[in-house]
Chain A
Amino acid sequence: QQQVKQSPQSLIVQKGGISIINCAYENTAFDYFPWYQQFPGKGPALLIAIRPDVSEKKEGRFTISFNKSAKQFSLHIMDSQPGDSATYFCAASLDSNYQLIWGAGTKLIIKP
């Protein structure tokens, strides 16, 4: 019940295309859903996060879509750029808990 399942494991998208990464969770008590971006040789960094009281959150070219009934959330990267090539991790947690439950990561490659 504590798992977060992330797919796909890897993704190749042409420059200018839309990149979509999906995550599914089981624990309906989760109330915080962040996405972290990790470049090679660096630690992950928070990209965008959402709470379950909204269905969508947009920051620039990055959008989180949240489907509470399906227990799924996804990251959409519009107009994908080579600089977006990185590994993306979804996660989930309880507000009252310090522990983030991490997805396995998606390696995204944007082809120029």
Chain B
Amino acid sequence: GAGVSQSPSNKVTEKGKDVELRCDPISGHTALYWYRQSLGQGLEFLIYFQGNSAPDKSGLPSDRFSAERTGGSVSTLTIQRTQQEDSAVYLCASSFMPGLETGELFFGEGSRLTVL
């Protein structure tokens, strides 16, 4: 498809297990963001990738969270030793380039993570 693709759409895991969430951005989009959205809440910035630049990891809540982006395309968000408070929808967004009208973010449908 032409949109941002995220997988899995739903993930249920046990506390303490590791999870990987995948994001396939729109082809040609150089910017990629990960956000976290808890139930009924706003968007919490996690990490930003732009081209080959060093990512902005300032939003990662703890060292259990990490993300990588291979070949400037697909990104994986990894949460190690999951905790119940990690339960949320993880949203990925991509953009052709940052800034003004060209900076529209295109979001995927999210990966809903439930930690039991």
Contact B98 A43 (CB under 8 A): no
Does B54 sit at the interface, judged by CB under 8 A?
A: no
Contact (Cβ within 8 A) B45 A105: no
- The B-contacting residues of A in range 35-78, CB under 8 angstroms, are 36, 41-46, 49, 51
Give the B-binding residues of A (Cβ under 8 A). 31-32, 34, 36, 41-46, 49, 51, 89, 93, 95-100, 102-105, 107
Quote the shortest CB–CB distance from B89 to chain A (angstroms). 9
A-B contact pairs, 12 of them (CB 8 A): A34-B104, A42-B107, A42-B109, A43-B4, A43-B93, A46-B104, A89-B42, A95-B99, A97-B98, A98-B99, A102-B42, A105-B42
Q: In this complex, which of B41, B43, B50, B98 has the most chain A Cβ atoms within 10 angstroms of its Cβ?
A: B43
B contacts with A, residue count (CB < 8 A): 25
Q: Check B48–A99 contact: CB distance below 8 A.
A: yes
Closest Cβ–Cβ distance, residue B57 to chain A (whole Å): 13
A93 and B100 alpha carbons, distance in the complex (Å):
8
Contacts of B107 in A (CB 8 A): 42-45
Any A CB within 8 A of the CB of B85? no
A104 close to B99 (CB less than 8 A): no
B108 near A98 with CB under 8 A, answer no
Q: Chain B residues with Cβ under 8 A from A99's Cβ?
A: 45, 48, 56
Question: Smallest distance from the beta carbon of A102 to chain B beta carbons, Å?
Answer: 5
| Nearest opposing residue in chain B for A103, CB measure | B42
Residue of B nearest to A44 (CB): B107
Contacts of B45 in A (CB 8 A): 99, 102
Per-position 1/0 for B41-72, Cβ under 8 A of A: 11101001010000010000000000000000
